[in-house]
Amino acid sequence: MAMRLLNQDRVKGILESMYKKGRVPNTILFWGPSGVGKTVAALEFGKGLLCRKGMVWGCGECESCRVYESIADRILKGDCEEIKYYGESQSGRSVFVYLKGEHPDFVFLIPDGHVIKIDQVRAVKEFAWEKPILSPAKLIIVEGADLLNPQAGDAFLKSLEEPPYDTFFILTAVNIKNVLPTIISRSFLIEFTPLDFESFKEITGSDDRKMYELSGGSVSRLNKLKEKAHVREMVNRFLEGDASAVFSCIQKIGSYDEEDVVLFFDLLEENIVGKMSTNIEMLERVMDVIDETRRDIPKGVNVSLAIAYIKTIIGG
């Protein structure tokens, strides 16, 4: 089976060395921007942790590797409905807890909605204490260690404090600041950085440098940008267009949904720097307006007014 982790050579090196020395920490935390390979790395390395032949990236042939592969494939394709596993809440309701396929020693925890809930963590804790069946160890991947609600965070910490020696946790997080300090202190941290242009080309097949820069070296961001060409176009018109083009932007943005408005301000922030590099003071004022507006979008701030104001600051 081909290796999916095409980039991140530094990360690969660290993981290989730990594995070969037989010193894999029970809890590893991958952190860094989205779309740069954290989930892929977690799944690939996890395969090796469960491999019956003890190969660092999995042998691809043993029973564990074969079953694991098909689950990993589903997860990466987002085809997860059939592997959703339900447990019981404390009040006896049936609740979604994690993704679990045919592999008895592996679960993949994702947020239920926007956060990871306490019932999910309880289910993981029970799983952590079962004996491995097919593999030499058990693996729990937690996608979104920065999305544990406070109650769930405390409960999760208890599982990490005294993990069974044959249970591995691989956590991922985009915003390291939102991960509980007590979880960080019990984890081995590995930072993921934005993809370089060469890796980006290899993975996406796109050699458009402008798109690479706009995406910030993130594959998921690139996909979003492709899908949202109208927002990209509007940012360009806003920055470069004449008065009537700008006026139509101001009118149009009011009808955008929240996701598009956020993307508009993200792109504006990234592109405005090149336009205004000579005047730091003005740039700071604009950045403040962008920050405040973006923060208040969920509260229904008047975004048309905000961009009209930005235009008066930058002039033109």
Sequence letter at residue 262:
V
DSSP for 187-254, written as a single string:
SEEEE--PPPHHHHHHHH----HHHHHHHTT-HHHHHHHHHTHHHHHHHHHHHH--HHHHHHHHHHHT
Q: Which stretch binds Zn ion (CB under 5 A): 17-25, 65-73, 95-103, 205-213?
A: 65-73
For Zn ion, give the closer residue by CB, 59 or 80: 59
The CB-of-170 to Zn ion minimum distance in angstroms stands at 17
Rounded Cα gap, residues 10 and 192, in angstroms: 9
Q: Residue 132: is it exposed, middle or buried by C-beta count within 10 angstroms (0-12/13-18/19+)? A: middle
> How far is the C-alpha of 214 from the C-alpha of 86, rounded, in Å?
39
Burial class (CB in 10 A: 0-12, 13-18, 19+), 95: middle
- Which C-beta is closer to Zn ion: that of 63 or that of 292? 63
Name the nearest CA neighbour of 254 among 234, 240, 284, 274: 234
The stretch near Zn ion (CB under 5 A) out of 43-51, 232-240, 271-279, 304-312 is 43-51
**Nearest to Zn ion of 32, 58 (CB atom):** 58
- The answer to the question of residue 189 lying near Zn ion (CB under 5 A) is no
Residues across the chain: 316
Using the minimum distance from each CB to Zn ion, give the nearer residue, 12 or 47. 47
For the record, the structure tokens of 292 come out as 């405040």
Among 15, 28, 62, 121, binds Zn ion (CB under 5 A): 62
What's the closest the beta carbon of residue 127 comes to Zn ion, in angstroms?
Answer: 21
Work out whether strand 94-99 and strand 84-88 pair parallel, antiparallel, or are unpaired: antiparallel
In the complex, the smallest distance separating the C-beta of residue 17 from Zn ion, rounded to whole angstroms, is 20
Nearer to Zn ion, 62 or 174 (CB): 62
Residues 256, 278 contacting (CB under 8 angstroms)? no
Binding piece for Zn ion, criterion CB under 5 A, among 18-26, 35-43, 47-55, 301-309: 47-55
Q: How far is the CB of 91 from Zn ion (least distance, A)?
A: 41
Cβ 98 to Zn ion, closest distance in Å?
Answer: 23
- Residue 51 binds Zn ion (CB under 5 A): yes
Restricting to residues 123-162, name those near Zn ion by CB under 5 A.
none
Told to check if 5 binds Zn ion by CB under 5 A, we report no
Q: Binding residue for Zn ion (CB under 5 A) from 65, 75, 116, 276?
A: 65
Closer of 35 and 48 to Zn ion (Cβ): 48
Query: In the chain, what is the straight-line distance between the N-terminal and C-terminal CA atoms, in Å?
Result: 55
Part in contact with Zn ion (CB under 5 A); list of ranges 23-31, 34-42, 45-53, 112-120: 45-53
> Residue 282: helix, strand or coil by DSSP?
helix
Residues that bind Zn ion (CB under 5 A): 51, 53, 58-59, 62, 65
